[in-house]
Amino acid sequence: MTNCGTDKKYYKKLLLIDLDGVLNLYNGKYDANKISELRPGAFEFIKKLHQDYRISIFTARDVKVTTEWLKENNLIVYIEEVTNIKSPFASVIIDDRAINFDGDFDKTYSLIKNFQPYWKN
């Protein structure tokens, strides 16, 4: 039996990373059976993060299709989980459709009203 208290993995914080628009070259055109190519630099980014964090991939896509894409791109060894549920236990969420709340409701309201993911600009 492994002692969870001595396993470094259990001390790592959980990162939740969105697939489309973050790890791939998503442009808004959704195809349920085909995931866009890996974004340049994404492999190195995930590999570097994996040294200090547990990584969970969040996607609205089919988990099996996403898992195959991660395997094809040699990322699966760095990924703890592929899920359709945003974990409340994540320390940080990386998403192309997110707004960071900084304590200012008026500013946040304006950001919401004018929001576009980066790939639409």
Sorted by where each begins, the domain ranges of the chain are: 10-120
pLDDT tens per residue, range 21-48: 999 999 888 898 899 999 999 999 999 9
Distance CA 104, CA 26 (A): 31
Domain covering 10-120 in this structure, CATH number: 3.40.50.1000
pLDDT tens per residue, range 44-94: 999 999 999 999 999 999 999 999 999 999 999 999 999 999 888 899 999
The whole-number pLDDT of residue 75 equals 98
The whole-number pLDDT of residue 8 equals 58
For β-strands 13-18 and 53-58, DSSP reports them as: parallel
For β-strands 92-94 and 13-18, DSSP reports them as: parallel
SS3 label, residue 111: helix
Does position 6 have pLDDT exceeding 70, yes or no? no
Mean pLDDT of 106-120: 91
Q: How is the chain split among helix, strand and coil, in percent rounded to 5?
A: 40, 15, 45
Residues of the chain above pLDDT 70, percent: 92
Beta bridge partners of 53: 13
Which band of pLDDT confidence, cut at 50, 70 and 90, is reported for residue 3? very low
Closest CA to 90 of 45, 43, 56, 116: 56
Amino acid (1-letter code) at residue 73: N
